[in-house]
A and B are shown apart, each in its own frame.
Chain A
Amino acid sequence: MTTLEAPTLTIVSAIDMPARRATSPAGIAMRQFLKSPSGVVGLCLLALIIVGTLVGPHLYRVDPLDLVGAPFMPPDSDAWLGTDYLGRDVLAGLIYGGRATLAVGAVAALITIAIGLLIGSLSGFFGGVVDVVLVKITEFFQILPPLLFAMVLVTLFGSKLSTITVAIGAVSWTSAARLTRAEFMRLRDLDFVKASRAAGASDRHLMLRVLLPNALPAVIVSATLAIGVAILFEGGLSFLGLGDPNVMSWGLMLGQNRNYILDAWWAVIFPGMAIFLAVLAISLVGDGLNDAINPRLRRRS
Chain B
Amino acid sequence: MLIRRTFVLGALGLVAAAAASPAARAQAAGSNTLVVATTQVPRHFNGAVQSGMATAMPTAQIFASPLRYDENWKPQPYLAQSWEVAPDGLSVTLHLVKNAVFHDGKPVTSEDVAFSIMAIKANHPFQTMLAAVEKVDTPDPATAIIRLSHPSPSLLLAMSPALMPILPKHIYGDGQDLKTHPANLKPIGSGPFKLIEYKQGEYYTLEKFDKFFMPGRPKLDKIVVRLVSDGNAALVSMERGDVQALSFVAGVRDIDRLQKAPNIVVTDKGFAGIGPLNWLAFNTRKKPLDDVRVRQAIAYAANRDFIVSKLMGGKAAPAFGPIAPDSPLAEANVEPYKVDYAKSAALLDSAGYPKGADGSRFALTIDYIPGGDEQQRNVAEYLRSQMKRVGINLEVRAAPDFPTWAQRVSNFDFDLTMDTVYNWGDPVIGVNRTYLSSNIRKGIIWSNTQQYSNPKVDELLQAAAVETSPEKRKALYSEFQKIVVQDAPIYYINVSPYYNAFSKGLGGLPTTIWGMMSPLDEMYWETPPKT
Binding site for B on A (CB under 8 A): 63, 65-67, 70-71, 85-88, 154-155, 158-159, 241-242, 244-246, 259-260, 262-263
B373 at the interface (CB under 8 A from A): yes
Q: Chain A contacts of B395 at CB under 8 A?
A: 246
Minimum distance in angstroms from B170 CB to a CB of chain A: 48
A242 to B388, CA, bound (A): 24
- Please state if A260 and B396 are interface contacts (CB–CB under 8 Å): no
- Please state if B253 and A70 are interface contacts (CB–CB under 8 Å): no
Q: State how many residues of chain B have any CB contact under 8 Å with chain A.
A: 19
Minimum distance in angstroms from B495 CB to a CB of chain A: 20
- Please state if A155 and B400 are interface contacts (CB–CB under 8 Å): yes
* Further contacts, 18 of them, CB under 8 A, given A246-B384, A259-B373, A260-B253: A65-B384, A67-B382, A67-B385, A67-B386, A85-B378, A86-B378, A86-B382, A86-B385, A88-B385, A154-B400, A155-B401, A158-B398, A241-B370, A244-B398, A245-B396, A246-B396, A262-B253, A263-B253
Q: Chain A contacts of B385 at CB under 8 A?
A: 63, 65-67, 86, 88
A263 to B385, CA, bound (A): 22
- Minimal Cβ-Cβ distance residue in A for B388: A66
A101 to B155, CA, bound (A): 57
Given contacts A85-B378, A155-B401, A245-B377, contact A71 B310 (CB under 8 A): yes
B381 at the interface (CB under 8 A from A): yes
B19 at the interface (CB under 8 A from A): no
Q: Is the interface of B mostly helix, strand, loop or mixed?
A: helix
A262 to B251, CA, bound (A): 14
- Please state if A242 and B400 are interface contacts (CB–CB under 8 Å): yes
B311 at the interface (CB under 8 A from A): yes
A/B interface sample: 28 pairs, CB < 8 A: A65-B381, A65-B384, A66-B385, A66-B388, A67-B382, A70-B310, A71-B310, A71-B311, A85-B311, A85-B378, A86-B378, A86-B381, A86-B382, A154-B400, A155-B401, A241-B398, A242-B400, A244-B398, A245-B377, A245-B380, A245-B381, A245-B396, A245-B398, A246-B395, A246-B396, A259-B373, A262-B253, A263-B253
Minimum distance in angstroms from B389 CB to a CB of chain A: 9
A65 to B394, CA, bound (A): 11
Minimum distance in angstroms from A268 CB to a CB of chain B: 14
Q: Chain B contacts of A65 at CB under 8 A?
A: 381, 384-385
- Minimal Cβ-Cβ distance residue in A for B381: A86
- Please state if B400 and A159 are interface contacts (CB–CB under 8 Å): yes
A259 to B374, CA, bound (A): 10
Q: Chain A contacts of B253 at CB under 8 A?
A: 259-260, 262-263
- Minimal Cβ-Cβ distance residue in A for B377: A245
Q: Chain A contacts of B378 at CB under 8 A?
A: 85-86
A260 to B311, CA, bound (A): 12
Query: Which one of A88, A245, A260, A262 has the highest number of Cβ atoms from chain B below 10 Å of its Cβ?
Result: A245
Minimum distance in angstroms from B428 CB to a CB of chain A: 37
Interface hits, B357-382 → A, CB 8 Å: 370, 373, 377-378, 380-382
